[in-house]
Structure 1
Amino acid sequence: MKNLLLLFSIAFLLTACEKGKTASEKESAKTDSATWKPVDSATAMKAWIEYATPGDYQKRLTRYDGNWIGTSTMWMEAGGKPVTSQSECTNKMIFGGRYQQSTYKGDFMGMPFEGMSLMGYDNAKKKFVSTWIDNMGTGIMHAEGEWNAVKKSIEFKGTMTDPARPGEECSFREIYTFTDDNNHIMEMYGQDSKTGKEYKTMEIKFTRKK
């Protein structure tokens, strides 16, 4: 008798949960339908074509294709002693000139270093977008930025995993300043692990390899 009651109770709970789930899904569908903005097929097609077509900002990145020598200066903490190193970088536009893939090789505090980034200009967002991965971590950094015509620079802002504080993320900024076709500088700013205040963590001066 007890077993029958137990089976009945489980069946009742499963049915109740399923009914609740169905009601929730229906309510969610109503909300999505209410906020969804309808777009006709011709408008959608035009928007996708514009989104997929490389323009002036993608062409701007093309100017920095090629091989580069990077001279890096890093600070492990605010006011800390600078650590210098050198690396090589190869930039290459991919997917029909839509994105620039950059591969890095060098050393970091006596250890071999490898990294790769993708940079592009999102025609819909009207912003530059970038990702970064390297052999010093297992996460992917994401950032978005805007072109500053006066300074000839892109200032990226994003967040990254903070392994020292599980479950938390920290903010960072990257500023790419394009001096000329043969020189550019990347400056990175992050949060101090002790205070949370922003400080300059890295600077890389790139010179085109001859």
Structure 2
Amino acid sequence: MFRCALLTLSVALAGVTAAAQQPGKSDDKKDPQAKFEPRSKPGAGQKFLEQFVGDWDVTKTFHPRTGEPTKTKGECRQKMIHDGRFLQSEFTFAGDNGTTTGTGQIGFEPETGKFTSVWTDSRQTRMSFRQSDEKFDGQKIVLIGKELGGGAKDGRRSQTTTTFDADRKTIVHRQHAIDADGKERLVMELVLTRKVPPAPAK
């Protein structure tokens, strides 16, 4: 009987070990969608984007091909969404033609080391898509304009570069147009300055 009890205990322990070695089955029951779309966790890019969170004063400078640059003042609120996986930026600008708004979302894929962003605004119905060509270097975000359903159109290719100053109080975002010869021309610059929180009431 003692030998039979040991045999039963061994079988039971083997079953527990086998179950522990196959966590995927229980996970599949909890999240059946994971088989088709595996989950991914935030990475180094998200850590960088977290520093953008907050309220900002914005100065937008547009550089036309001819004539003097024009400046527009605005504000921006940035926050991480979807459990810290994406940064959402809400812009508001007040100009001579009234108020315009814009929304940007950017994410980072640790598997590829690249960023992808989308931009929409109240000026047009076109959505702007951008993606990194090179892996994130830990210092700046470089994105290239992309066209869905084909290559970038002539005259519409662009590159944006986003950098932080040393004290993390200023973001500089520059957009360059790229012509057919590969030459770059500065089109727009956004300078975001972190707002100083109001002093506590005495």
TM-score between both structures, scaled by the size of structure 1 = 0.66
Aligned-pair distance for 1:124? 3.0
Say whether residues 1:156 and 2:132 are aligned partners: no
Contact 1:154 / 1:176 at 8 angstroms: preserved in 2? yes
> What CA distance in whole angstroms lies between the structure 2 residues aligned with 1:92 and 1:85?
23
Which residues of structure 1 form unaligned runs of 5+? 1-40, 162-166
RMSD: 2.8
1:19 matched residue in structure 2: none
> Among the aligned pairs, what percent are the same residue?
28
Aligned-pair distance for 1:154? 1.1
Alignment of 1:87-126 (within 5 A): 87-126=74-113
Aligned-pair distance for 1:103? 0.3
Say whether residues 1:202 and 2:188 are aligned partners: yes
Alignment of 1:1-210 (within 5 A): 48-49=38-39, 52-77=40-65, 79-145=66-132, 146-149=135-138, 152-159=139-146, 170-179=156-165, 180-191=167-178, 198-210=184-196
Contact 2:92 / 2:100 at 8 angstroms: preserved in 1? yes
Structure 1 residues 153 and 53 mapped into 2: Cα distance closer, same or farther (>3 Å)? same
Contact 2:174 / 2:188 at 8 angstroms: preserved in 1? yes
Q: Secondary structure at the match of 2:105?
A: strand
> What CA distance in whole angstroms lies between the structure 2 residues aligned with 1:108 and 1:170?
25
Contact 2:81 / 2:87 at 8 angstroms: preserved in 1? yes
Q: Secondary structure at the match of 2:38?
A: helix
Instruction: Name the count of aligned residue pairs.
Output: 157
Q: Deviations over 1:119-149 (max 9, x none)?
A: 1102233201111000111011111124234
> What CA distance in whole angstroms lies between the structure 2 residues aligned with 1:189 and 1:160?
16
Higher helix share: 1
Which residues of structure 2 form unaligned runs of 5+? 1-23, 26-33, 197-202
Q: Secondary structure at the match of 1:155?
A: strand
